[in-house]
Structure formats: C-alpha cells, structure tokens
Amino acid sequence: MKNMGRKILIIVMLVMSSLFLLAGCSSENAKQASSSDSLQSTLAKIKEKGVLTVGSSNDAPFAYINTKNNKFSGVDADIITEIAKRLGIPKVQMKHIPFENLLMALDNGSVDMVTDAMYIKPERLQKALFTNIWYKEGEAVVVKKDSPIKSKADLKGKVIGGQKGVTFLDTAEKWKKNGEVKDVKIFNSQAELMMAVSTGKIDACITDGIVAGYTIKQNPSLGLWILSPYTPEAAGKIGAAIRFGDKDLLNAVNGELEKMRADGSLKKILQKYGLADDYMVLSADAAKTKNIK
C-alpha cells in the first residue's frame, strides 16, 4: 500500500514537471514571437499590410480627401501615392489630424508619415526625420477684392489672421511685434482663415501661396485677392516627416523620390498643380535635407 502511494506521488510529480516544462516552452515561444514582431521594420509591416497611413490636416491642394469622389488628392498626395506604388504598396490612406498635432501623431505611431506641405525647419528636424525636398513654397497675403490694402505697408494698424501651427503664423506674430500690424487672430483651419477675410472678421490673412491661389480659383464667390506685388519672407522647403527609428522607410521613400526627380514624373505632378519653376527643386544635390539650416 505504501509502495502504491509512492508510485502515485512520483507519477503526479512527473506530470506536473511536464506541464511546467510545456508552459515554459510556450511562454518562451510567445516571447520569441513577440520579439520577432517588434524587430520587423515599419517598412516591412507596411508592405505586409499593403497600406501606408499618412497624416494631413486635410488642406487642399496638398493632401486632402476630395469630397466629390472621396479620394486622397493633392500635390503631396500624388507624390506619396506614386512613391508607394513604386515600393509595391497598393494603398495610401490619410488620417485627418490638426496641423499642430501632426508630429505628435507621428511620434505616437498613429501614422507612418506626415505629408502635408510641412516646411523642413531646424526645430522640426529635432522632432522627426525628413525626406529629401519635394518642392519649395512661400507665403501670400490675402485680402478682399475691394480692400484698401494694396501693399504690405497698408497692413499697419490692421488685424490679420494666421493658421495655428503653420510657419506663416510666426511671420504674422513678427509683424505684430514690429508694429507692422495691429493684431493677429489665430484660426484652426485654412477654411476658417479664408472665410474670416471674406466676411470681414479680419482685414487680411497670411497663408500658403499655393493654397491661396487654389482656394481663390475654386471659390470665386469668396471675393478674395492675393496681394501683389509682395515678396515672400518665409519661403521654405517641403518634405515628408518620418519617425527617427524608421530610417529604412526614409531611405526607401528617398530612393523612389530621386528616381521620380530624374525621370521627370515629379516635375509632371508639380506642373499639374500649377507650381511655377521657382518652386521646383530639380537637382538631387539641392534636394538633400542636410542643406536645411
């Protein structure tokens, strides 16, 4: 009887040991699988999924959802869609994020890239990697067609508007500090900004030159006009932002971008949206982000 009890005890102990071993192996396999997933690059994950997710504030004509056909459209949209196609990624989807939050969304992994006519500036290079330059751009001052403002000097004593988070808001604030304008009102979107000028809430606004031209052409009923002559003070260079850890994605995007620059397809996209030759960067050497100071 005692021997029988010992045998049962030994069998129970052996079974429990086996279970512990199996549990350990299972846990180790799970850890290895998890480790393997974390080691997979962002580019590999995007290719596996077949979708590149980009962040934009939905401002035309850069990167926006066209309400007529629900398609991702615009100059930045066309560039990144062509790059994705060349990389074997069939779909690019846009996530609508306020401009001032785009780099935060990139950092927290909500999007793979930011493609929204973002200026490559030293302070932004502290927050993310940037691709080679896509094109150049400068600001414009927009007023009502019947406005007495005919030059920048006429802005003295006037209230102007700027969009939150956009480079040109800094220019507007500088003008206020220097006494070149009376005050600066801040708006959350391009649409609100232009409407504020149209309805007389502000005397003028400072915004992207490309956006201003597009908006006025598409919406003549706004009764707006681009101040001219005017020399842009905040001309900058546009690129796409990518997380610091995703250098493989950066290199892949830059590789296809430079092929597009060389074969003329980049220039064709820029011409489609009416960009003047002055806005184009057609030399691969001049397009390198390291030239930004």
Q: Which domain holds residue 93?
A: 43-136+236-291
Are residue 250 and residue 165 in the same domain, yes or no? no
As a whole number of angstroms, the distance between CA 103 and CA 113 comes to 9
Residue 117 belongs to a domain: yes
As a whole number of angstroms, the distance between CA 27 and CA 22 comes to 9
As a whole number of angstroms, the distance between CA 33 and CA 10 comes to 34
Number of domains in the chain: 2
Q: What is the CATH number of the domain that holds 190?
A: 3.40.190.10
The closest alpha carbon to 120, from 108, 142, 105, 103, belongs to: 103
Cβ contacts of 174 within 8 Å, gap of 6 or more? none
The backbone torsions φ and ψ at residue 139, rounded to the nearest 5 degrees and listed phi first, read -85, 165
Are residue 64 and residue 117 in the same domain, yes or no? yes
Contact between 235 and 167 under an 8 Å Cβ cutoff? The reply is no
Residue 10 belongs to a domain: no
pTM metric for this prediction = 0.72
Per-residue pLDDT of the chain (293 residues; tens, 9 = 90+): 445 555 555 554 554 555 444 445 444 544 444 344 456 899 999 999 999 999 999 988 999 999 999 999 999 999 999 999 999 999 999 999 999 999 999 999 999 999 999 999 999 999 999 999 999 988 999 999 999 999 999 999 999 999 998 889 999 999 999 999 999 999 998 889 999 999 999 999 999 888 888 888 889 999 999 998 888 888 889 999 999 999 999 999 999 999 999 999 999 999 888 777 778 887 877 778 765 65
Helix extents (H) in 108-234 = 167-177, 190-198, 209-218
